């Protein structure tokens, strides 16, 4: 069995999905399962569907096509704003997409019409995080220069999108805690609901979907503080890693080890904790600093930046500390390990989101599916 290896436990992913779906359902909220950290792996999508999600979303058209080709028939959504140049592929691969540019929506509509179809659009509203979406101050009275346009702008844009031939305006949505680190609150999500209500009045029917964000909205959902009117959350990390993403607190009852990255030890030696010689830049152009802890037992595992984000790895066994690493080497302090670490041993790590993303996309990491 080759190493490094990423073990993906489908039963744990299903369990975490079911747990989150139950929490959301109690508050009348659906869950869209987000597969992007798993490269649109159909086995992961299936585990999410068994856990109760009704629709699947991914940030890449290629991943949605993989899911479709695997025979999965539920509605598929593209999360990243579509590239104009990719409109035809988007309409082929996805039933709908998140959007913020009318120009692109028109091209999507034309491609859908050519296929005698409707492409569903969830119009993104920026409530302050400064990633995608039509700007709407979450608290216009508190922001210098803000005006009632905060509601009018998004509603007008949505009405215009609804008039584009080939497009079905499914609703509106927002994305928080991604670029600006802005947390979802009853106030900013309340503004999203307010925009949805004004839009509903103008359309003569409430929008079908009010998409209230990603795993960072789970904390509010758990506390029963999601504003009424949010109909759906788009959840990836919460399902995969079992934590909400504002404070990264475990969701009670969730598995935190659905993914394990396992690496093999290739050297174990006792060495000083401070390098000997003149110190220049390391392999990545940084000037490292080392606390002097005397002679320590160090291990090298065959795992590097080509496989994972090394800072995002938590060793599972106790008494092991990640010191750092380079493209192909992970340096560990194993002095305090209760069982002696030897060459050839395998050490398992729980990856954080960045480390998981890197491991999933690295061709050097063997993916092994268990619990399916």
Ligand X SMILES: *Cc1c(COP(=O)(O)O)cnc(C)c1O
Residues serving a catalytic function are 36
Which is closer to ligand X, CB of 21 or CB of 301?
21
With CA atoms as reference, report the closest residue to 72 among 112, 39, 44.
44
- Measured from the CB atom, the residue of 168 and 237 that comes closer to ligand X is 237
DSSP 170-203: EEEEE--SSSS-PPP-HHHHHHHHHHHHHHHHHH
Angle, CA 13 vertex, CA 10 and CA 14 arms, to 5°: 85
Shortest gap between Cβ of 158 and ligand X (angstroms)?
17
Least gap, CB of 237 to ligand X (angstroms): 4
Task: Say how many residues make up the chain.
Answer: 372
Integer Cα distance of 34 and 290 in angstroms: 40
Nearer to ligand X, 54 or 366 (CB): 54
User: Which are the contacts of 1, defined by CB distance < 8 A and separation ≥ 6?
Assistant: 366, 368
> Can you say whether residue 5 is alpha, beta or left, with left for phi > 0 and alpha for psi between -120 and 50 degrees?
beta
Q: How far apart are CA 360 and CA 141, in angstroms?
A: 44
Closest residue to ligand X, based on beta-carbon distance: 236
CA dist., res. 207 & res. 58, Å (int): 22
Looking at the Cβ atoms of 16 and 175, the one nearer to ligand X is 175
- Residue 211 or 337: the one with the smaller Cβ distance to ligand X is 211
CB of 290 to ligand X, least distance (A): 35
Binding site for ligand X (CB under 6 A): 34, 36, 59, 79, 98, 175, 214-215, 234-238, 245
Q: How far is the CB of 267 from ligand X (least distance, A)?
A: 36
Map residue 159 onto helix, strand or coil.
Answer: helix
Is the distance from CB of 163 to CB of 121 less than 8 angstroms? no
Q: Residue 240 CB, nearest distance to ligand X (Å)?
A: 7
Distance between CA atoms of 179 and 188, rounded to whole angstroms?
Answer: 16
Q: How far is the CB of 122 from ligand X (least distance, A)?
A: 9
Of 231 and 245, CB closest to ligand X: 245
| φ/ψ (deg, to 5) at 118 | -115, 135
């Amino acid at each position: 069995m080759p190493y490094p290896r990423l073990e993906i436990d489908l039963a744990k992913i299903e369990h975490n999905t079911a747990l989150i779906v139950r929490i959301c359902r109690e508050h009348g909220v659906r869950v869209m399962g987000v597969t992007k950290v798993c490269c649109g792996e159909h086995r992961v999508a299936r585990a999410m569907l068994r856990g109760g999600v009704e629709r699947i979303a991914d940030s890449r058209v290629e991943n949605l096509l993989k899911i479709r080709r695997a025979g999965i028939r539920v509605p598929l959504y593209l999360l990243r704003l579509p590239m104009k140049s990719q409109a035809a592929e988007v309409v082929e691969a996805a039933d709908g997409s998140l959007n913020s540019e009318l120009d692109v929506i028109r091209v999507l509509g034309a491609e859908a019409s050519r296929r005698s179809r409707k492409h569903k659009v969830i119009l993104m509203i920026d409530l302050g995080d400064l990633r995608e979406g039509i700007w709407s101050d979450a608290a216009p009275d508190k922001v210098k220069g803000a005006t009632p346009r905060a509601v009018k702008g998004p509603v007008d844009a949505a009405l215009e999108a609804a008039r584009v031939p080939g497009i079905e305006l499914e609703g509106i949505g927002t994305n928080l805690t991604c670029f600006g680190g802005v947390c979802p609150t009853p106030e900013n999500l309340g503004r999203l609901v307010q925009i949805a209500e004004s839009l509903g009045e103008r359309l003569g029917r409430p929008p079908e979907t009010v998409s209230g964000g990603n795993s960072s909205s789970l904390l509010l959902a758990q506390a029963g503080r999601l504003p009424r009117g949010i109909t759906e959350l788009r959840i990836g990390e919460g399902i995969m890693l079992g934590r909400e993403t504002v404070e990264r607190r475990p969701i009670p009852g969730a598995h935190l080890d659905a993914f394990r990255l396992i690496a093999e030890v290739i050297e174990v030696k006792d060495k000083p904790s401070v390098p000997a010689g003149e110190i220049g830049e390391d392999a990545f152009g940084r000037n490292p600093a080392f606390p002097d802890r005397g002679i320590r037992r160090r291990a090298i595992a065959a795992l590097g930046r080509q496989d994972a984000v090394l800072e995002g790895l938590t060793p599972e066994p106790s008494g092991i500390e990640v010191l750092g690493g380079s493209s192909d080497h992970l340096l560990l302090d194993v002095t305090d390990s209760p069982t002696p670490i030897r060459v050839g041993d395998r050490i398992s790590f729980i990856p954080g989101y960045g480390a998981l993303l890197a491991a999933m996309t690295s061709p050097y990491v063997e993916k092994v599916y268990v619990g399916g």
